Each structure stands twice: as structure tokens, then as C-alpha cells.
Amino acid sequence: MPLSVSQKIISTINEVTARKDKSLPLHEPEFNGNEWAYVKDCLDSGWVSSVGAYVDRFEDDLARQCGVAHAICVVNGTAALHICLHLLGVRKGDEVLIPALTFVATANAVHYTGATPHFVDSTETNLGIDAEKLGQYLSEIAELRDGKCYNKKTDCRIAALIPMHVFGHASSITQLLALSEKWGIPLIEDAAEALGSTFHGKPLGSFGTLSALSFNGNKIMTTGGGGAILTNNSEFAKRAKHLTTTAKAPHRFEFIHDEIGYNYRMPNINAALGCAQLEQLPGIIEKKRALASAYKIAFQNLNGVSFFEEPKDCNSNYWLNTLLLDVKYDKNQVLRECHDAGILARPAWKLLKDLDIYSKSPSMDVAISRHLSNVILNIPSSSSIIKN
């Protein structure tokens, strides 16, 4: 009997990877550098929480790594996105353009400001927002009033555009920046998945007016939980620090808070982990890219399955390796068989506009996003699993 597509996928993954345990998780962190030393230093010194030198150091190291003037560390990527929107003055009654195919955090951050996500379609070439289709759409629904963009249908201001670099691959950032310029819509990069990726040699996260990173446990590097805001604008940087640290005015002993702030600061102990992880990032990315090449070769001749390669001009961190499975196959059956074999593969996110919580949000036609969401299968991608 010929092997089923699931069996072929399973045996190909087994050929490429080496397992420590019975199962092969989707993505696990690796701690091979100064993680223990720096965390121990925090414990020994007692500086574990809201004050300490590792936060400053991690912010400097991150800014250098990402090619921006300022990095502000926060508790997680969602909080980073929330503050980016807040800094741009996004508020109740506004709309924010985001892909329908992204993690729910992108939409949630918009909701926290009181604004509404407005979903846009993605492209098969890089899995991010389809810039051409968005350009077309804006010329139909939008108009400029005093340099600000409004949705003619809802009369709401379109206050921001948030492209997301899916699985570490650069979205059409050049064209999206041109649209942002043309329509007066500030651009925030959701670079949560893209730390270490570049486009034309320039780090992702350095293109937007503001950008957000995540250091959750499943991301390319981790601080346990954490995130960062990136920007070249020193006013935004200063306000971001202030807002994320309860907006306390500097004073030797008095508690004066000059606006309603947030307790979003990253604890020193997490930043210590971050400093050590960031030192390891080049090595992690090298291994991730080697794993991606091995998968690419191994899946080359498998009928009905294609390995998603980094888009042109992008050097991707290959955060999650992606297979596109022909629609003739039952993806859930493939997922079940992979899990039975200890391979913890995952589908892409359900389209956000298909979640009850966002079903009433405005949206363009998202046929390509829907197709992608149906055919994407993410396979184990930890930097440590490549066979030597």
C-alpha cells in the first residue's frame, strides 16, 4: 500500500531532526550561553524586579541589534503593541488596518485602545499584508481630510497600519511604507516573530515609526515573557518609558504620576535572561536557517506538499518552518497523525474575523488569507533539533 501523505511528512521530519524526548515540540528555547550566570547575578545582588542594570543593558543591546536608536523593554509583546498604538494617539472611534491572518494579540492591542481592527488580506508571496490589494482597497474606501485618512463608509479615522512579518518572513514593507506615506497612516511593525530577520540587509523592526517585539517562551529568543518597543524617535522613546513605568514623575520620594500610565516594565531578572539570549541570537539563527535548508531539500519531491521559502530580498530567521499542504488533503487528519507520532505540528491561526469576538469588525475580502489559513502547517522548528 502506498504511504499516506501524513506518513511521508512524518518520515521526512524524522529524517531531518533528532529528538531528545518522545515528542518533538513546535518550538522550544535553548539556553547555552550566560543565562545561568546573569540570572544568578540578579539573585545574588537582590536586583530582581523593577530596577536594575540588566534592563538598561538589554535595551542598548536590542537597539544595536535592531538598527534603531531606542528600545524600551516591556512585559510582553502585546503590551508593546498597545503602547505603540497609544503613542500614536489611536483611540475610541478609530480603525486600525491589520492582517486577518495574524496572532490574536495584534487585534487585542487595537481593542485595548478602544479602536477597532479593520482586517486586510495577505499575499502568498510572503504571507503578510497584500500591499497591492490594500492600495486598491484604500482608493475605494478611504479619503484624506486635512492630511488624515478616513474610511468613507464608516466615517472613522484610519489611525494606523500594522503589518506583521509572518513566521519571521518580511512582509511587503517597502510598498506598505509607501501606502502609509500616501495616505497619512502611521505604520507600526508587529515584528514579534521577526527578531533577527532582515530585508535588503536592514533589520525587520527598524522600518516602522514604531515596532513591537516579543520574547515569549516560544519566540526566536526568550526572556521568559517580555517584549520591546523599537523606535528612532526620541520623543516616542521617552514617552514609552514614562507610560510603561506608571508615568511617575522623577522625585526623590514623592509619588507624583502626571498621567494614567501602565505597569508594563520588564523586570530585571527577565532582562538578564534577555541579555544572555541576545548574545546567542546569531548562533540560534544560523541553526534555524540550517534546519530550514534541510527541510527545504527533504520536502522538495513530496507531491502535494511545498516548503515555504523566505521571500525575495529577505534573510529570514525562519522562526516557524511552514509547509503548504494541497487542499485535496485533510489537514486535520495530517495533524492528528503527526501528533500521534509525537510531532507537535500546528495549523496557522484561525482568521481573526472568523472569531466571534471580532466578527463585527470591518474587513476587506480576505480570500487569500482564508486559503493560507487552510493550507499552512507549521512543523517543529527549535534550533536544537537539527541532526548533526
Residue 351 Cβ vs ligand PLP, minimum distance, rounded to whole Å = 14
Of residues 157 and 163, the one with the C-beta less far from ligand PLP: 163
Please say whether the dihedral angle defined by the alpha carbons of residues 109, 115, 118 and 123, taken in this order, is positive or negative: negative
Residues forming contacts to ligand PLP in the complex (CB under 6 A) are: 76-78, 102-103, 105-106, 164, 190, 192-193, 214, 216, 227
Question: Which residue minimizes CB distance to ligand PLP?
Answer: 77
Of residues 38 and 215, the one with the C-beta less far from ligand PLP: 215
Tell me which amino acid residue 242 is: H
CA atoms within 13 A on the CB side of 232: 8
Neighbours of 89 (CB within 10 A): 12
Tell me which amino acid residue 15 is: E
Of residues 8 and 118, the one with the C-beta less far from ligand PLP: 118
Of residues 94 and 190, the one with the C-beta less far from ligand PLP: 190
Pair 107, 222: CB distance under 8 Å: no
Q: Exposure string (b/e) for 91-112, b if CB count within 10 Å is 16 or more?
A: eeebbbbbbbbbbebbbbbbbb
Residue 226 Cβ vs ligand PLP, minimum distance, rounded to whole Å = 7
Exposed, middle or buried: residue 320 (CB in 10 Å: 0-12, 13-18, 19+)?
buried
CA distance 261 to 244: 6
Residue 214 Cβ vs ligand PLP, minimum distance, rounded to whole Å = 3
Of residues 193 and 310, the one with the C-beta less far from ligand PLP: 193
Residue 255 Cβ vs ligand PLP, minimum distance, rounded to whole Å = 28
- DSSP conformational letter for 107: H
Residue 307 Cβ vs ligand PLP, minimum distance, rounded to whole Å = 21
Of residues 77 and 274, the one with the C-beta less far from ligand PLP: 77
Q: Grid cell 474587513 — which residue?
A: 363
Residue 78 Cβ vs ligand PLP, minimum distance, rounded to whole Å = 3
Residue 81 Cβ vs ligand PLP, minimum distance, rounded to whole Å = 6
Residue 37 Cβ vs ligand PLP, minimum distance, rounded to whole Å = 25
Q: Return left, alpha or beta for 217; rule: phi > 0 is left, psi -120 to 50 is alpha, else beta.
A: alpha
CA distance 168 to 166: 5
Of residues 52 and 227, the one with the C-beta less far from ligand PLP: 227
Of residues 12 and 76, the one with the C-beta less far from ligand PLP: 76
Tell me which amino acid residue 375 is: V
Exposed, middle or buried: residue 294 (CB in 10 Å: 0-12, 13-18, 19+)?
middle
